[in-house]
Amino acid sequence: MVLPRTAAARAARSLMSRRPVLQRPLQQGAAAASTSAAPPRLLPSELPPLTPSRIKPVPSSFYTARPTYIDSLILLEDLTRRTKRALEKASIPMAEAAAAASTSSSSRSAILWLKVQDLSRRLGIPLKSSQYRHIVARLSVLSRYRAVVRDHFGDGQMGEANARLARHVEDTLRSFMRQATVDFESAQPKLAVDGASSTGVDDLGRAYARGRRKESSARVWLIARKDVEDTAAAETSAPTSVASSVLINAQPISAYFTREHHRDSIIYPLRLTGLLGVFNVFALVSGGGNSGQAGATAHGIARALHTYFEHKANSVEEAEGKNSPAALEAKKRAERIHDLLKADGVLKRDPRMVERKKTGLAKARKAYTWVKR
């Protein structure tokens, strides 16, 4: 039988009134008696250990969609943070670290990292362009400290932990480089000014310099030909053909630069100083287009020429004396070549860049056709 709502409510209240109500003890003795009757409470240290139903994954990227990509970012950021902390603990002057960082950053574009396809195949996931840029950006930041870490920590004099850190940084960077860059760096001897300047002469007498133009950068080596080095003079007329070898990214100049004015702009510093055919040229270029790469190579050749003859004059001065005829002649020749290159403006980087597009305009300065209606 179904009771009305009011009758059901009255029945429920009557049942509740019949339940025994536990009154709160008002006296101290009653409270003590009730407490003593309760089971003893265990401390947190006395509680039995809880056994998890499953093992928690150790890597923090386990639940992400791309764990290998996240692990790579974490590894590079952790290495950069550990490197900075190690340099601070070793009391290395910040000016020296900053100089090495700025020098390495100027050659970041010359390091050829793995392509997006190769890196995707290595990580086992398809990488987006933005994800690839994130990895390359962190690699570039870590590569800034590569030279200073190698110079200070590589020999093990600053402790075994720092030596392991230097090896870890080197191995990590090399694992993200292309094989061509790794082979080239392994075959090259260490420059006397490595990590301290962008120009220099190595132990084999090869002049090295960096050049830039627009978005392109070039690393240039000049190797003097022994058969014509002593007979060449800065004031002699330049030959009509290139007798020396000019290689751009391990390719002949005629194969890499198909346009004649690009080839002419590259060898222009050699023709200007009358040294065309005296040096073999090897260059590694990256970034930008053909015009920018040609300008960057020419800039690097001009700087390498100035570095080579300046280093040669200093060597003769140290060997035969400051006032010796040979030292004076070598210094005079170095100054003459420097004046020629400086007067023509090839020693200075061309600052002209493509002007950016403006909002509301078709290009940088071109406007759309005005229409009244």
- Give CA–CA dist 49/370, Å, rounded: 80
Report if pTM > 0.75: no
pLDDT at 260 over 60: yes
358: confidence class by pLDDT, cuts 50, 70, 90: very high
Which pLDDT score is estimated for 285? 92
Q: Residue 306: which of 348, 264, 350 has the closest Cα?
A: 348
pLDDT digits (tens, 9 = 90+) for 78-119: 999 999 998 888 877 654 555 555 554 444 445 788 899 999
Q: How much of the chain exceeds pLDDT 70, in percent?
A: 75
CATH for the stretch 200-344: 3.30.230.10
Minimum mean pLDDT among 16-20, 182-186, 243-247, 289-293: which range?
Answer: 16-20
pLDDT of residue 105: 45
Domain with CATH 3.30.230.10 in the chain: 200-344
For 170-217, give the DSSP string: HHHHHHTB-HHHHHHHHHSPPPTTTTT-S-EE-TTS-EEEEEEETTEE
Q: What pLDDT, in 10s, does the model give residues 270-329?
A: 999 999 888 999 999 988 899 999 999 999 999 999 999 999 998 888 888 888 888 889
Confidence (pLDDT) at 9: 63
| Residue 42: band (very low, low, confident or very high) from pLDDT cuts 50, 70, 90 | low
Does residue 160 carry a pLDDT above 90?
no
pLDDT-derived band at 355 (thresholds 50, 70, 90) equals very high
Return the CA Rg of the chain: 36
Higher pLDDT, 185 or 108: 185
Where is average pLDDT lowest: 31-40, 150-159, 361-370?
A: 31-40
pLDDT at 184: 65
pLDDT for the residue numbered 193 = 40
Cα–Cα distance between 207 and 301 in angstroms, integer? 9
